[in-house]
Amino acid sequence: MLNIVLFGPPGAGKGTQSENIIAKYQLVHLSTGDILRSEIANGTELGREAKKLMDQGLLVPDEVVIGMISNKLDANKDAKGFIFDGFPRTVAQAEALDTLLASKDASISMMIALEVDNEELMKRLLLRGKDSGRPDDANPDIIRKRIEEYNNKTAPVANFYKAQEKFKSIHGIGSIEEIFGKISGTIDAR
C-alpha cells in the first residue's frame, strides 16, 4: 500500500496537489477539510459544531476528525492506498492514525511537506476567498489565526514523521506542474 500524508500550512497547495497525486497513483483522497465542509453543507450536528470553529480559523477537536478518518478507512477496504490531505494536524491525530493503520497491517509510507512562506500563503488564500465562498479564506485576521494554529499545533507533527525517517520536504513555490514534478519524483524514489 502507498499511504501518503500531504503536509503544509493553510494554502500550501495540499488540496491542489492531492488531485494530481490521485490521478497518477490511483489513491483514495481523504481530506478532513472537505469532509467537514460536506458535513456543514448537509447541515448535520457535527457540521454545525465544526463550522463555529472553522469560521474562526481554529482546529476541530481531535476525536471528531479521528472518528471521521476511521469511518473512511473502513469504507475503502480495497484501496491501493490513501492520500491524507490536511490530516494529521496534531501529534495526537498522528498517533491515532498510526494505531488505526496498524490494526489493518498498514502504515504511512511518507510525509510530503510543502514549504511556503506566510506572505505567499496570505496572497493565495485571499485570492481563493474572492470566489470560494469559504468564510475562513475571506478575512486576513482569520487566515493569520489559521497560520498561528498551524505553527502551534500542526508544525510539531513533522517531528513525529522525522523520527520515523518518513519526512520529505518540498519547496512549494512555483507552478503547480513544477511542484507536482518534484512530488512525483519523491514518491517514485521510495
| Known active-site residue 48 | no
Binding site for ligand B4P (CB under 6 A): 10-16, 32-33, 36, 53-54, 57-60, 65, 86-87, 89, 93, 124, 128, 136, 146, 176, 179
Residue nearest to ligand B4P as judged by C-beta position:
33
Helices (H), strands (E): how many in the chain? Answer: 10, 5
Q: Is 14 a catalytic residue?
A: yes
Sheet architecture: strand order including 81-85: 28-31, 81-85, 2-7, 110-115, 167-171
Measured CA to CA, the distance from residue 152 to residue 146 in angstroms comes to 10
User: Shortest gap between Cβ of 6 and ligand B4P (angstroms)?
Assistant: 8
CB of residue 184 vs ligand B4P: minimum separation in angstroms?
A: 15
> Of 14, 72, 124, 166, which one is the catalytic site residue?
14
Burial class (CB in 10 A: 0-12, 13-18, 19+), 52: exposed
Active site residue 128: yes
Is residue 37 among the annotated active site residues?
A: no
Phi, psi (degrees; rounded to nearest 5) at 5:
-95, 120
190 noted as active-site residue: no
Identified catalytic residue from 72, 89, 124, 166 = 89
For the annotated catalytic residues, the residue numbers are 14, 89, 128, 134, 146
